[in-house]
Amino acid sequence: MDTVTREEIAERRRLASMRLQQYEERREAWAAMHGGLKESHGHCCLRRLQGLKCLKYHQKGCEDCDRAEANRTIWDHPTIWIKGGKPYMIVLHPYYVRDDELNQLQQLCGSRGLVCNVRPKEESFYLPGGTWMIEISRKVTAEISEEDRLKSLTLITSI
């Protein structure tokens, strides 16, 4: 017999909708902190950050996308963000970050003129305290000061 009451179902729905709203608020605050980023639904491909096309649908395929696919532990919950109409940042939210995987990613980014910035779990907009947040962008991208990041974090609704 199902023992879940109508009130319990309503409460679960209320909590789920509250969590979703908080998640959206965190994402929006993070995107605003970076000067108004918009999420793109295209491939989360390092080539796109370099102003190149992703080769996923080319005959030989895309080496960068294949590598990301093979490194799912670090390449978890990837999103790609646009600024001024151009791919600007890729964000990963892995639960675990292994040193060897991170070193590999940092080397790859370095060889492409990109940087990957590992942020503390508390700053993760995906799951604060649960996942790390890795921001990958061009080296020339203006750095955000720790002070500005803190200010932005205090605007985010705590859970």
CA distance 158 to 128: 9
Q: Pick between residue 62 and residue 89 the one whose CB is nearest to Zn ion.
A: 62
**In whole angstroms, how close is the CB of 23 to Zn ion at the nearest point?**
27
Sign of CA dihedral 72, 109, 59, 88: positive
Provide the H-helix boundaries in 34-97: 46-49, 63-70
Q: Pick between residue 19 and residue 53 the one whose CB is nearest to Zn ion.
A: 53
Q: Which spans of this chain sit near Zn ion (rule: CB under 5 A)?
A: 45, 54, 56, 62, 64-65
Can you list the positions of beta strands (E) in the chain?
Answer: 38-40, 79-83, 86-92, 114-119, 133-138
Q: Pick between residue 65 and residue 105 the one whose CB is nearest to Zn ion.
A: 65
Instruction: List the structure tokens of 54.
Output: 């992703």
Q: Pick between residue 5 and residue 111 the one whose CB is nearest to Zn ion.
A: 111
Contact 115, 136 (CB under 8 A): yes
**In whole angstroms, how close is the CB of 92 to Zn ion at the nearest point?**
15
Strands 38-40 and 114-119: unpaired
**In whole angstroms, how close is the CB of 55 to Zn ion at the nearest point?**
6
**In whole angstroms, how close is the CB of 95 to Zn ion at the nearest point?**
24
